[in-house]
Amino acid sequence: MRKADEFFFTRLQYESGDWDVDQRMPSNVLNSLVEYTTLPVDTKENIISLSSDDIYNCPFCYISGHKLVQFTAKEQENFKNYVNNGGFVFADDCNHDIDGLFAKSFERQMAEIFGADALKKIPNDHEIYNAFFSFEDGPPTTSQELNGWGDDLVHDYLKAIEINGRIGVLYSNKDYGCEWDYDFRNKRWYKKDNTKFAVNIVMYALTS
């Protein structure tokens, strides 16, 4: 049974599209939280339906995919209420493609829920880039970008929806999910630990 003060990673399941991508990523991120922070962590991924009211008990949610995002009325309602009441959603486009199906449909959903101008680029000196580790140049680059995957662009920004001066939805076209989708025991082979930015995202979500 999870302890009351333990952080847990929640993946949102939605009826459209392919929500169950980058399946090793959560365990890798959770391992990094254990490795670098003193945060009590439940190391098992929590998966819930976006249409479930269980979302209101989650401190941090992740949503991703490659395909169409078309929320049901209940999914839209829960997403809106969760974010407006202090929840945090990290949304990542597995296509790394600003013209791809996931990107266009997810951004359209955000416009319907929060308004046409709600999702905006955040500056690269935003506090999320110093929430734990320091990223002076903004969002770290992924190998998908450097290898020409997706739209063959290096996205030098992230987007967000802010509620009362705080990020409620952090949105990436950089495909961090695939970047962090490896067994955490293989981390020792990497010259640089690319999951450190994930620690920043979680710590910002919990402390801002």
Indicate whether 4 belongs to any domain.
no
DSSP 102: H
User: What confidence tens digit (pLDDT) does each residue in 35-86 have?
Assistant: 999 999 999 999 999 999 999 999 999 999 999 999 999 999 999 999 999 9
Indicate whether 48 belongs to any domain.
yes
Give the 3-state secondary structure of residue 47: strand
Indicate whether 90 belongs to any domain.
yes
Indicate whether 3 belongs to any domain.
no
DSSP 195: T
Q: How many domains does the chain have?
A: 1
CATH number of the domain that residue 60 is part of: 3.40.50.12140
10 Å CB burial of residue 153 (0-12, 13-18, 19+) is middle
Indicate whether 1 belongs to any domain.
no
Indicate whether 5 belongs to any domain.
no
Quick check: 169 and 161 in contact, CB under 8 A?
yes
Indicate whether 181 belongs to any domain.
yes
Nearest to 62 by CA among 96, 19, 91, 82: 91
Range of the domain at 23: 10-207
The pTM score is 0.94
Indicate whether 2 belongs to any domain.
no
